[in-house]
Amino acid sequence: MKIILLLLSLIGRSSQLTLSECGTEARRPQLNDIAVECGTSSVSLAIQICPVIYTGYNETLLILNSIEDPACKATLDESVSPPVARFNFPLNMTNACGSTFRTTSAAGTGPFADFSNIQTVNISGVVRSTDPTTGAITYNAELKYFYSCAYPLEYLINNTQIAVSSSSISVKDNNGSFISTLSMELFSDANFTNPMVIPQLGIELRTNVFVRVKATNLTGQYYVFLDRCYASISPLPSNSSFFNLFLPCSTDRFTTILENGDSQMARFSFPAFRFIEQQNQTMSTYYLHCITRLCEISTCSTFKQCNRRRKRSTHDTFEEDIAKTYTITSPEIVTKAETTDSKEKPLVTAEDNSAVGLGVAVGVLAFACIVALSVATLFYKRLRK
């Protein structure tokens, strides 16, 4: 029994800190003793260790979600004041140290008010103390530290200037957001291998622009889905003209969606255009915005069903404040003004081709009638002679 008590005593003193070293930090635990950092690839917890020692425990006796895996244990950090016990675990359902993942859905608000299903994933758990005392009673209070991180799965990739392209976008790690893992890049080819470089004077009208929105360092159970992409003259779409490249269940006839909601990237293309109100300017400059959703793989298909979504009118504007949305930025798109000696070919759709074909057929038929009439007149005159 003495050996067991000695071992328990050693366990209770395995921390590098003692109660006397804590000084004024030796006190009862408080609600704000835990700090939670909701990162893009992991969650970090920091628990002030002196109140833990005051209660009769140390960092080795703090257990995360009842998981005894060494990778889920706390480490003592004395480099900060007050010193803390740190936990860190990845955002992955298979090895998140027992954390609970729960996805909820609610109607959108603010810039997403037109979407009836906005998802949020909540990651939560608890750090408990393990009492080393043996026997029928203990004088140590049980410690419980609860944590929770809420990650919205809908983002407005906004204020995206387009011009040179392909720059990799780095964004600060926003607390409780996956946004820093998203980037928008522009390419000049359908294989998405050649980053688009826009000359100083702009690109020619009708030049194909290939856009890719990609998630990196994202936990494997989510795909990227674009709800809406549009262009605007101003970086803030609420106070400028805009043009929808595509909306839920509605796509501009010149926009081609290549991949959406099928992997951790979404891709589409459109021909470069200009805004009519900039017709007196040498170049037309505009910005690209995309409302982006991170959907669970099992639910991505539901967002492609038109009967499950609400359409947005092409005349709607954002009247709500978009300051709270997440923003990433790439260079601007600049197009040349069209000149009279332009060698550009007219851009036509299948409907346009049909109309052109019908016009040609009518022209040929009219020409044939004129020729036949001329030949008949000639023969008539000869017969009379």
pLDDT at res. 342: 42
Q: pTM, whole model, 2 decimals?
A: 0.58
pLDDT at 3 over 60: no
Let me know whether 126 and 200 are in one domain: no
Q: Domain end: 130, 152, 174, which one?
A: 152
Let me know whether 205 and 327 are in one domain: yes
- Give 180-197 pLDDT, tens digit per residue: 678 888 999 999 999 998
Let me know whether 92 and 137 are in one domain: yes
pLDDT at 173 over 90: no
- The total number of structural domains that make up the chain: 2
Let me know whether 236 and 111 are in one domain: no
The structure tokens listed for 78 are 């004395």
| CATH classification of the domain holding 183 | 2.60.40.4100
The answer to whether residues 299 and 223 touch, using CB atoms and an 8 Å cutoff, is no
SS3 210: strand
Q: Strand ranges (DSSP E) for the chain? A: 34-38, 42-48, 62-64, 75-77, 84-90, 100-106, 118-129, 144-152, 154-161, 182-187, 208-215, 222-232, 242-247, 250-251, 256-259, 265-271, 283-296, 333-336
- Residue 320 lies in domain: 155-336
Phi, psi of 286 (to 5 degrees): -150, 175
pLDDT at res. 271: 93
Let me know whether 243 and 303 are in one domain: yes
pLDDT at res. 111: 55
Let me know whether 186 and 299 are in one domain: yes
Let me know whether 170 and 24 are in one domain: no
* 238 — pLDDT class (breaks 50, 70, 90): low
Q: Do the bridges between strand 242-247 and strand 222-232 make them parallel or antiparallel, or are there none, so unpaired?
A: antiparallel
pLDDT at res. 209: 93
Let me know whether 107 and 175 are in one domain: no
pLDDT at res. 307: 57
pLDDT at res. 72: 93
* 104 — pLDDT class (breaks 50, 70, 90): confident
Let me know whether 284 and 247 are in one domain: yes
Let me know whether 73 and 192 are in one domain: no
Let me know whether 84 and 106 are in one domain: yes
- The reply to whether 181 falls in a domain is yes
> Which of the two residues, 81 and 173, has the higher pLDDT score?
81
| CATH classification of the domain holding 100 | 2.60.40.3210
Q: What is the mean pLDDT of the chain?
A: 74
- Give 147-160 pLDDT, tens digit per residue: 988 887 766 655 43
Q: How far apart are CA 363 and CA 370, in angstroms?
A: 11
CA-CA-CA-CA torsion for 215, 216, 219, 223, nearest 10 degrees? 20
> Which of the two residues, 21 and 172, has the higher pLDDT score?
21
251-273 in b/e form (b: 16+ CB < 10 A) is: bbeeebbebbbbebbbbbbbebb
DSSP secondary structure code for residue 98 in this structure: T
Let me know whether 111 and 248 are in one domain: no
- The reply to whether 233 falls in a domain is yes
Beta-carbon contacts of 270 under 8 Å, excluding residues fewer than 6 positions away, are 208, 209, 211, 245, 252, 254, 255, 256
* Of 183, 177, 115, the residue nearest 152 (C-alpha): 177
- Give 271-324 pLDDT, tens digit per residue: 998 888 887 788 888 888 888 888 888 888 888 877 544 444 333 333 332 222
- The reply to whether 346 falls in a domain is no
Q: Domain end: 336, 356, 379, which one?
A: 336
Q: Domain end: 152, 185, 212, which one?
A: 152
